[in-house]
Amino acid sequence: MTDEPYEFATWTSFIPESEIRRLLKYNVPYYFGGGKPGALPIETLAQILIDLGNEQLAEIKKGNPERPIDDWNYGATPGKAFLRKTLAERLMDKDGITLDSEHPEEDIMITTGSQQALYAIIDTCIDKDDVILTTSPAYLGFLMPAVKLGARVITVPTDLQGAIPEYFEEAIKVCKRELGKKPEMLYVVPDSDNPKGTTMPKKRREALFNIAMEHKTMIVEDGAYREIQFKGQQEPPIKAFDTENKYVAYLRTSSKEAAVVRIGYSVFPPRVREHVNTDKGYLDLASPTIVQRMLDIYYRKYIDQVLPKSLETYRKRAEVMGKAIDETFPPGHRTDPTGGFFIWWESDDKDFDAREFLEQMALPNDIIYVPGVAFYPLMGLSYLPDRKQLVPVERALNTMRISYSYSTTEIIDKGIRKLGGLLKKALT
Ligand SMILES: Cc1ncc(COP(=O)(O)O)c(C=O)c1O
């Protein structure tokens, strides 16, 4: 009982604040928490603002205020045509994605961050008790909305190459048999996933696409780290196999590759797009036009020039973090990312509780990471391949996601060695 004179919706009683959002409040020197981009092209971004401002002033002085007024105004719900066109061309050229041959830009939808696209697609496709299959672990920004919106989330084990298609297929069959329904959605992050930093090889991507086609279910492919690839070859997106735009919802974002200006861009199958667009119309009407204008300039003129420098910074940071972990952590395993923002570490000591350790040891010593427990659903089921069975959701508490994206190599080296020392003391 509270002394509020009113009541809240049921979800407020069991959905907590996002662990990542909660941890963002701590301002500690050794910051390995949220996936904040640290190698932003700030000079370029500042120049874009200046150029855009000057352009507007010139138009206003000439007595043509129409475009500046439009830039500061409400825009169409699916986004401004100029940005959709620029991004459509980029997705076709760089990633081999097939879009409508006459009006490719109409296949692109702009959202307020890809987070809004994730929320809206669950909201659009999932009724209470519908089933979603995803990886174990998975991005918490997908898991929480899925649980909040009533989905039954089933997690499927992963390895160092990310999602394992055979397990997904087995899990689909077990769902049909035991729950009497097929999953509505398979959610994966194939390029340097959050939280593990693993990447699916081409064969797995194609296999997962074929499974979705065969079982008539949709893949939600989250390509948040698609452009943040600093080592090895790029595999095609799963979306590239979906030449008829039928089975894959492909979500991308400017947050990691440009700046955190809350713009995501997606390719949805047409009917999905229609419904997501309706949803967005009620969620926030439209995403800010002026930000779309800025990004249009960035993607047309600058990204290929400035992104390689950021990637080199992330590569060095990942390398320094990996080395410091290898040299100082107690027995355990870690991932070796070829892109993205994260290393995932798992202690060999199954009783280790990374959340407790964060509160009691890491934070008091000015270090922050995200305990792995945050990346498993609050409730749901896990598919166990050895037993070919669904069991109550399994969580690995002895894990942590350590982000190298924000801090400098010096901070990473010092902070990770300090964390290693503390872990060794606690675990040996
Ligand atoms: C895998 C993944 N998807 C989606 C998002 C949401 O990104 P945004 O809303 O900034 O586009 C994030 C953010 O960290 C992410 O890691």
Residue 1 scores a pLDDT above 70: no
Using alpha carbons, list the distances in angstroms from residue 264 to 44, 63, 98, 396.
Answer: 20, 34, 19, 31
Question: Comparing 23 with 50, which gets the higher pLDDT?
Answer: 50
Q: Is the pTM of this model over 0.95?
A: yes
Confirm if 426 and 356 have CB atoms less than 8 A apart: no
Residue 310 scores a pLDDT above 60: yes
User: Ligand 1 centre from 160 Cα, in Å?
Assistant: 21
Structure tokens at 330: 């107690």
Q: Is 357 helix (H, G, I), strand (E, B) or coil?
A: helix
Pocket test residue of 18, 36, 112, 115 for ligand 1, highest count of atoms within 8 A of CB:
115
Structure tokens at 260: 């955190």
Mean pLDDT of 187-191: 98
Confidence of residue 108 (pLDDT cuts 50, 70, 90): very high
Where do the CATH 3.40.640.10 domains begin and end in the chain?
A: 67-301
Percent of the chain beyond pLDDT 90? 95
pLDDT for residue 19: 80
The letter for the amino acid at 307 is L
Peptide bond preceding 371 in cis form (omega within 30 of 0): no
Helices (H), 264-302: 270-283, 289-297
User: Ligand 1 centre from 389 Cα, in Å?
Assistant: 31
Question: Which of 17-26, 57-66, 193-202, 291-300 is least confident?
Answer: 17-26
User: Ligand 1 centre from 254 Cα, in Å?
Assistant: 9
Confirm if 370 and 23 have CB atoms less than 8 A apart: yes
Residue 140 scores a pLDDT above 60: yes
Residue 81 scores a pLDDT above 60: yes
- Nearest-atom number in ligand 1 for the CA of 115 is 9
In 3-state terms the chain splits into helix, strand, coil percentages (rounded to 5) of: 45, 15, 35
Residue of the nearest CA to atom 2 in ligand 1? Answer: 224
Residue 347's region, left for phi above 0, alpha for psi from -120 to 50, else beta, is beta
Nearest to 190 by CA among 170, 164, 154, 216: 164
- Strand-pair partners of 157: 136
Residue of the nearest CA to atom 14 in ligand 1? Answer: 35
Please list every protein residue whose CB sits less than 6 Å from any atom of ligand 1: 35, 113-115, 139, 141, 189, 194, 222, 224, 253, 255, 264
Residue 427 scores a pLDDT above 80: yes
pLDDT tens per residue, range 195-211: 999 999 999 999 999 99
Mean pLDDT of 256-285: 98
Domain 67-301 is found in CATH 3.90.226.10: no
pLDDT tens per residue, range 394-421: 999 999 999 999 999 999 999 999 999 9
- Select 17-40+304-377+392-427's CATH number: 3.40.50.720, 3.90.1150.10, 3.20.20.220, 3.40.50.300: 3.90.1150.10
Mean pLDDT of 70-88: 98
pLDDT tens per residue, range 249-267: 999 999 999 999 999 999 9
Pocket test residue of 20, 143, 193, 194 for ligand 1, highest count of atoms within 8 A of CB:
194
Structure tokens at 415: 């902070």
pLDDT tens per residue, range 311-356: 999 999 999 999 999 999 999 999 999 999 999 999 999 999 999 9
CA-CA distance, 303 to 41, in Å (whole number)? 9
CA-CA distance, 5 to 352, in Å (whole number)? 43
Residue 76 scores a pLDDT above 70: yes
Instruction: Report the 3 state secondary structure along 100-112.
Output: CCCCHHHHEEEEC
Where do the CATH 3.90.1150.10 domains begin and end in the chain?
A: 17-40+304-377+392-427
Mean of all residue pLDDT scores within the chain:
96
Residues 6+ apart with CB under 8 A from 146: 122, 126, 132, 134, 153, 187, 377
User: Ligand 1 centre from 357 Cα, in Å?
Assistant: 26
Using alpha carbons, list the distances in angstroms from residue 272 to 218, 220, 241, 282, 389.
Answer: 10, 11, 18, 16, 31
